[in-house]
Structures are given as C-alpha cells and as structure tokens.
Structure 1
Amino acid sequence: MTKKTLKIVSILMIIVLGALLFGYQQVEKYADRPLTIKQEKIFTLPAGTGRVALETLLIKEQIIDDSYLFPWLLRIEPELAQFKAGTYRFTPGMTVQEMLKLLKSGKEAQFSIRFVEGSRLRDWLVALQQAQYMKHSLAGKSESEIAVALGLDEKAPLEGWFYPDTYLYTAGNTDLSLLKRANQRMQKAVDQIWQGRAPSLPYKTVEDMLTMASIIEKETAINDERSKVASVFINRLRIGMRMQTDPTVIYGMGDAYIGNISKKDLETATPYNTYVISGLPPTPIAMPGLASIEAAAHPAKTSYLYFVADGKGGHTFSTNLENHNKAVRAYREVLKNKNEK
C-alpha cells in the first residue's frame, strides 16, 4: 500500500469514526429527550409486542415523535429492548431512556381504590365496578354467589367483613382478588381484637361484636366518643332495653330510605329495626373501622343510657331520660338558631 493510499484510508477511517461518533451522540441525545406528553399517560404494552410494534404504538399514542433514532437506540443499548408486557404510568419530563427502562423493569402502574369506614357492601361493589383497569367478575352476582367465590359459606353474611382502607392494584387485577384481601384483613383484625376483648360483654359470637362496631361507626365519627357510644348500647343490652338506633332502621329500610325517617318507619318491623326488635340486629350494617371495633371490644365503663347530637358535631350523653330530654331540647334549639340565621 502506497503512502498516498494509506493516507486516503486513514482519512476515510477518521471520517467513518467521526460519523459513528456523531451518530452515537445523536442517539444518546435522543435517549435523553423528554417524551412528548404534557400530562400523565397510562400506557398498556400487550404481550408479544416487538420493537417495531412498540415504536408504532408509542408514536400512535403521541408518546414519542416519529424518529429514525428510536430503533438505533434499541440497537446501541439492546438491554432497553427487553421490555415486558403490562400497564405503565408515564409522566411529563420522563425521557425516552427512562421510559424504556421502566418498560424493562416490569414495574406496572398502581391504581388505588378507597373504601371508607361506614360504607356498605353495595357501595363497595359499585366502586369496584367503576374502578378503571380492573378485571370485573362480580357484576350481577348475588351475595351468596360472592361468598362462595370468596371461599366462604354461601350463607355467610358479608356485610361488615371487609376492612375499609385504600387498596392498590395493577391493571388486570380482579375485583374478587381485592375483596379477598379486604376480607382476610378484616378477619385477622377482628379475631385479634376478639381474643383481647373486655370480659363479660353481652356478645355470644364475634359477629355480635362486629355488628356492634358497625353501629358505633354509623353513630359517631369522633374517636373520643366511640367507647362512650359503645357503653350506651352495652348498658342497654345488659338491662334488656332496646337499642333504638336510627342507623339500623335505615339499613332495614333498604332502598325505601330516601333521607328521612318517619314515625311510621320507626314502628315498622324489619329484622334490623332496633326500635322493634330486642338485642342486636342479625348482621353488621356497615364496614366498621378499627377504632369502632376496638370500642365495641372495650367500651367505656359508664352509666350512660342515652345520647343525642349536640348540634356542634358531637353528642351529649345522659344516664336518665329526664336529662336526655333536656339534651334533646337543647339540640333542637341549636338547630332552630342555625335555621334562623
């Protein structure tokens, strides 16, 4: 090889190396380029999606621009091409490289659903039905069918037996699996509290304690009052006095309840109307929170037999009917003054 030829080859190599370096730098700059999204984007990558199909999907959903650099990035950094099927959350500012690393990690987007204390099973089922990216399998099923699906006896009451909390799930999780988690948590919590309950409580079964907890949950949202409310109902049960609690009437009315309770409603017998029946209703009337279960298991030691709202967010507790009637009149006066303003 002549000196002239060697010189030409050297120049060509420099040009090629320069071009390769320039190309590599362009690909790296592309990798650090932010996605084109302006707000959070949920992206589902189907199973079996290859490199070309991924690029097509990303462009179609306006997550990246159409660029010849994308396939080159996957060639230069082949580990980024090991993406996994799933549903992912992309955020504004995320780079192309960060997106591909997320797809490789398999860390799917998590979604949340909140079940509040005092809500009912029917409320939960509606929320589950409306939950996005969840696989729905319970629509149209009866309570007994749901019980069987949960692995419980078909006659097992479900009301009250799900732990209220915020639950996280990934796309494709079933509503049944989430209910199982909530049921198992409640079973565990109730069993532990039942084992450590105060002595001589008028409960025959753990279900009785949970039923009491559900009533407490519906009667007050103030933590300091829960054990006092529990004491009122415990004291009534001990002397054979009816519980006479409005939430049980409402529950027994079902869809007939439209926001008000009439005298006729209080006198109409249902299995849950504690103005008519003696003792506890047959099942819980809502999903109680942990604080209410603890209150049912450890009621305050009081002589209270009555309580009524005080118009200020709390309740006034009384040991006798005379004082209770005074508290009722005081409550009505507070309401009257509010309405006149």
Structure 2
Amino acid sequence: MRALKLLFVLALLCVGAIATDGWRALNQSITPPQLPATFELERGQSWQAFVRRMRDQGWLEHSRDAFYLRAWGRLDGQARRIHSGEYRLDEAVTLSELMDMLVAGRVVQYDITFIEGWRLSEALEALRRHEAVRHTLPESAGEADAALRDALEIDAESAEGWFLPETYRFPRGTADLSILKRAHAAMQRALSDAWDARRDDLPIDSPAELLTLASIVEKETGAVAERARVAGVFKRRLDRGMRLQTDPTVLYGRDPERSGRLRRVDLVTDTPYNTYTRGGLPPTPICLPGRAALNATAQPAEGTALYFVSRNDGTHVFSDTLIEHNRAVDRYQRGGGQ
C-alpha cells in the first residue's frame, strides 16, 4: 500500500512538473530569426505539419516548445479553430499569444486603391500587378469585361463604370473577382443613394444614365467645387436638346490605335461615344466615377452657363453664350493666355 501511495505521489509530481513546464513554455517569448517576419498557415495544412515547419524554420528554439504547442493545440481543441492565411509578427510573442492570433484569424491585410476617373481597364491592370491578388479573370480586356458582367449580373453593354473607386483591404490570395464584387456592391449602394437624392427635373431616366453622366463629369474636372457646375452645364444642354460636345467621351470611343491629344479628325469621326456627332448620352460610362461626381450629377448647380473651357490649371471658365466661350477658348487654349 505504501508503495502504491508513493507511486501515486510521484505520478502527481511528474504531472505537476510537466504542467508547470508546459505553462512556462507556452508563456515564454519566442523570437523569429528576424523581425518583422511573416509566415503562412496554408489551407488544409495539419496542425502537426504547421508546428513542424515552425520548428524547422527556427521559430521554436527548443523541441519542447514544439511538443507543448502541438499538444496544447490538440488537447485544448484550438487547432480546429485556427484560420489559414498569412500572418506577420513585428515583435516577439509567446506561444500563447501566437495561438490567440491564429484562432482570431488576424491575418495580414493588403490594400488596393481604384482611382476616381480610372477606366475599368486600369483597375484590372492594377489588380494584375498586385502580388497578393489571386488572378482569375481573363487577361483580355474584352473577355474580362464579359466575365464580370456574367458573374456580377451587370445588365449593361459594358461593365465600365460599375465599380466604386475606393481603397479595398483584403488578405493574401483573395481573387480579383472577389475584390471587384465588393467594389460593384459599393457602387450600387452609392448610386442608389445618389439616385434617391436626385433633383426631380433631371433629364435622365435611370440610375444607369446617372452613372454614365457622372462618369463624364468625373473626367471633365478634378476640382471638387466645380463638379456640380459642370453637371449643371450638361443638364441644361440635355434640357435644350444640345449635344454634350465633351472631349473625354470622344477619347474613350476613338480608335485605340490612335494616341495623344485629340485632333479635329477625332471630333468629326462618328462613333457611339462621339458627343460632337451624336446627341444624348454615350451608350456606357467612360470611367469609374466617385461619390462626389455621382452626388454632383444628381444635384447639379443652378445657373445659366452652357459652355466651359479649361484654364489649364485644373479649373474652368464658364460661359453663357458661344461668343463668350470662343473668347475664353482663344485666351486659354489657342493663345495660351493667363
């Protein structure tokens, strides 16, 4: 009996010693070979394989650390709750803190910014260049456009314009389509808000037309204070049955083999996007308009101006008559005046 008691006491002491040693190990700081450091927990990777790789790469200094981390993950059930992905350490952490990070899924976040006024092709190129994005869309712009319209159920001739230019954050390995799906949903919300707040007398019949006109406003001016004034000019032109006569639409629709500044031949060459030769709106947006352009187009400024021309400093001169406009063109465009 005394021998059994002794064995029981010894067993308790051993268990206690192991528990104490394990507790110390799990709360001991580990330091990667260098900081900051990143590591990846691959989708479908077993907990044992992950711990082994951490040990082989020098993250776990002692084999006992690997033993306790592997055992803790299994016994506590946390290994079943960890999230795959890429993680980053900027400072030393304990094994316990490392496990908390994996269970919480605090993966590295990347970002991509779609700029107001970009064409969809530029957004697609930015996605293709981003090293953390998983590429699933066709490289051909036309095929990518068709794939987006099909996947996102965009009922339009083109997916151009249907993505809100903002910054989007995502973990490594996110598909390009997934990011564009978020941008499309954001544009739908922004467009709906602008449409609901629109003036009653707008000469447009649908949110899609508002999006198209907003894309023209976006390309015509980067000056926030001018957007509503530019939108007002286009509203009055549409009200009167005048052609919009806006250069950005001509640039968008001209032969892609042509480059450089607009020439007279571009202005007289008829295309669906040439607002000098055709009345009304072009068939699709010409860029990704931002919230400010959407709101300005929905609530254009009052006024009497029917024309505007660039001062070459980011702002414009607005004119009520063609005679005044031609004078402004002579001063700021043909004559290069100040």
Please state which band the TM-score falls in when normalised by the shorter chain: 0.7 to 0.9
Residue type matched to 1:67 in 2? H
Superposed counterparts of 1:118-157, under 5 Å: 118-140=117-139, 141-153=143-155, 156-157=157-158
Alpha-carbon separation, structure 2, partners of 1:206 and 1:23: 66
RMSD: 3.3
Report the 3-state secondary structure (helix = DSSP H, G, I; strand = E; otherwise coil) of the residue aligned with 2:134. Answer: coil
* Residue 308 (structure 2) pairs with residue 295 (structure 1): no
Superposed counterparts of 1:234-253, under 5 Å: 234-253=235-254
Residue-pair matches, total: 327
Report the 3-state secondary structure (helix = DSSP H, G, I; strand = E; otherwise coil) of the residue aligned with 2:40. Answer: strand
* Residue 283 (structure 2) pairs with residue 321 (structure 1): no
Residue type matched to 1:189 in 2? A
What is the TM-score normalised by the length of structure 1? 0.82
Alpha-carbon separation, structure 2, partners of 1:76 and 1:185: 42
Of 91, 94, 118, the residue aligned with 1:93 is 91
Residue type matched to 1:131 in 2? H
Between 1:80-89 and 1:190-199, the stretch displaced more is: 80-89
Match in the other structure for 2:4: none
Match in the other structure for 2:38: 41
Residue type matched to 2:300 in 1? P
Alpha-carbon separation, structure 1, partners of 2:261 and 2:280: 24
Alpha-carbon separation, structure 2, partners of 1:336 and 1:316: 13
Alpha-carbon separation, structure 2, partners of 1:138 and 1:24: 49
Residue type matched to 1:38 in 2? L
Alpha-carbon separation, structure 2, partners of 1:76 and 1:160: 51
The structural deviation recorded for 1:219 is 0.9
Between 1:324-333 and 1:188-197, the stretch displaced more is: 324-333
8 A Cα contact 1:144 1:156, kept in partner: no
Between 1:303-312 and 1:168-177, the stretch displaced more is: 168-177
Change (3 A) 1:131 1:294: same
Cα deviations by residue, 1:258-299 (Å, 9 ceiling, x for unpaired): 231111111111110112111211111011111111111111
8 A Cα contact 1:164 1:182, kept in partner: yes
8 A Cα contact 1:162 1:182, kept in partner: yes
Alpha-carbon separation, structure 1, partners of 2:161 and 2:59: 48
Alpha-carbon separation, structure 1, partners of 2:153 and 2:61: 51
Alpha-carbon separation, structure 1, partners of 2:126 and 2:222: 22
Change (3 A) 1:81 1:32: farther
The structural deviation recorded for 1:211 is 0.9
Alpha-carbon separation, structure 2, partners of 1:279 and 1:18: 83
The structural deviation recorded for 1:18 is 11
Report the 3-state secondary structure (helix = DSSP H, G, I; strand = E; otherwise coil) of the residue aligned with 2:174. Answer: coil
Alpha-carbon separation, structure 1, partners of 2:193 and 2:83: 40
Residue type matched to 1:242 in 2? R
| Structure 1 residue ranges without an equivalent (≥5) | 2-8
What is the TM-score normalised by the length of structure 2? 0.83
Alpha-carbon separation, structure 2, partners of 1:299 and 1:274: 20
Between 1:192-201 and 1:15-24, the stretch displaced more is: 15-24
Change (3 A) 1:56 1:249: same
Change (3 A) 1:302 1:42: farther
Cα deviations by residue, 1:166-198 (Å, 9 ceiling, x for unpaired): 122234433223222222222232223223311
Match in the other structure for 1:114: 113
Give % identity. Answer: 35
Match in the other structure for 2:230: 229
Residue type matched to 1:149 in 2? A
Residue type matched to 2:123 in 1? W
Cα deviations by residue, 1:220-250 (Å, 9 ceiling, x for unpaired): 1111100000111112222222211111011
Change (3 A) 1:69 1:192: same
8 A Cα contact 1:110 1:169, kept in partner: yes
8 A Cα contact 2:60 2:66, kept in partner: no
Match in the other structure for 1:269: 270
Alpha-carbon separation, structure 1, partners of 2:150 and 2:16: 69
The structural deviation recorded for 1:33 is 2.8
Change (3 A) 1:42 1:231: farther
